[in-house]
């Protein structure tokens, strides 16, 4: 486990690099033989570079996706809430499993914002997390209460973005 | 090489996650068997998680440090300029080697800002880079011209930081 203490980090904002920064933290932690788990909310099933590497080359790194389709979940339909609830339940189990040093709750911020999961439940989870566990929450629209509960909060601000040049998401870079 | 095109990305600002986002891009690219090189300006020699992982578990990932001591380089002394010049020269060679898909020029922004290296030379390098190569520039204080030259620019904005709680940098998280 992490020496001494684990913080709650939030990466939010409309810019690039939120999930990517979390993956960078994962890489760095894995370099020190820490154990890392990423749990993905909102995002659909998708073959990404991080998923490929978690399955093959690096030990102690797992990524969990619960969505059935490859679409991004945006509406709080009953089905989407069920998937989100399942994801949160898994997150809860994982957080208290004591098996990991770093747990990334990827895109949990919009999941809260869209009311797919309960902010109150997430806050409870953060308040009760094992002391040595580092938790990272990513995604746009982190709520005030989540920011209050966090130790380290960074806003990724869009200054210039190639999507405006009509460039599609690229394998090996954006996913 | 990357399919079709490589962009110039900049991660700047006073918040956390600049180098970390670049490392996340590295992880993702490595998952697709891309070849990644990180060249570190400013930062002193230091055993980091990313260095450990680049040396051991993942193929196609190399990190290059040129500083002699473990101190962060901040003043444009003759010696520091020499180290920076050597680093830039290596970056140049690496960029045109056609051996990599993603090259990270870590902390090059402050190196330019502190006049350790010439902004003009870096701009020339960016203008002439191989079309398919993705280049990432990290660090505070990206200059206007660097931002102009980039395709994708993200500012990491500090919202809340644990350093203000007197917590030291932690192995496996901050390095």
Q: In A, which residues are within 8 Å of B139 by CB distance? A: none
For position A5, what pLDDT does the model report? 74
- Has residue B153 been placed in a domain? yes
Provide the pLDDT confidence category of residue B1 given band limits of 50, 70 and 90: very low
For B135, the closest chain A residue by CA position comes to A173
Q: Is B43's Cβ below 8 Å from some Cβ in A?
A: no
- Has residue A172 been placed in a domain? no
Contact A159 B147 (CB under 8 A): yes
Phi, psi for residue B50 in degrees, rounded to 5: -70, -35
Gap from B65 CA to chain A (nearest CA, Å): 16
- Contact yes or no for B11/A8 (Cβ under 8 A): no
- Has residue B174 been placed in a domain? no
Instruction: Taking residues A16-34, report their average pLDDT.
Output: 94
In this structure, what CATH number is given to the domain that contains residue B64? 3.40.50.300
Round to whole Å and give the CA distance between A47 and A44.
10
Residue B132 DSSP code:
T
Q: Is B141's Cβ below 8 Å from some Cβ in A?
A: no
Provide the pLDDT confidence category of residue A165 given band limits of 50, 70 and 90: low
Percent over 70 (pLDDT), chain B? 94
Instruction: Taking residues B117-135, report their average pLDDT.
Output: 97
Total domain count for chain A? 1
β-partners of residue B37 are: B62, B103
Gap from B31 CA to chain A (nearest CA, Å): 4
pTM confidence score: 0.92
Round to whole Å and give the CA distance between A108 and A121.
12
Contact A154 B17 (CB under 8 A): yes
- Has residue B54 been placed in a domain? yes
ipTM computed for the complex: 0.90
For position B142, what pLDDT does the model report? 98
For position B134, what pLDDT does the model report? 96
- Has residue A175 been placed in a domain? no
pLDDT of A100 strictly over 80: yes
Residue pLDDT, tens place only, B20-67: 999 999 999 999 999 999 999 987 778 899 999 888 767 899 999 988
- Has residue A17 been placed in a domain? yes
Structure token pair of residue B85? 């010049």
Contact A24 B28 (CB under 8 A): no
For position B2, what pLDDT does the model report? 42
- Has residue B12 been placed in a domain? yes
Q: Domain residues for A122?
A: 8-165
């Amino acid at each position: 486990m992490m020496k001494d203490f684990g913080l709650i980090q939030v990466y939010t904002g409309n810019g690039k690099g939120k999930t990517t920064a979390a993956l960078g933290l994962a890489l760095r932690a894995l370099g020190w033989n820490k154990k890392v788990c990423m749990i993905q909310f909102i995002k659909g099933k998708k073959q990404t570079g991080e998923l490929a590497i978690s399955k093959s080359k690096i030990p102690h790194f797992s990524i969990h996706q619960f969505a059935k389709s490859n679409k991004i979940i945006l509406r709080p339909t009953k089905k989407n809430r069920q998937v989100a609830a399942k994801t949160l339940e898994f997150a809860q189990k994982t957080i208290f499993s004591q098996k990991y040093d770093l747990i990334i709750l990827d895109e949990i911020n919009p999941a809260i914002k869209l009311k797919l999961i309960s902010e109150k439940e997430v806050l409870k989870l953060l308040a009760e997390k094992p002391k040595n566990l580092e938790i990272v929450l990513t995604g746009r629209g982190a709520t005030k209460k989540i920011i209050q509960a966090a130790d380290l909060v960074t806003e990724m601000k869009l200054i210039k973005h190639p999507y405006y040049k009509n460039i599609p998401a690229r394998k090996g870079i954006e996913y």
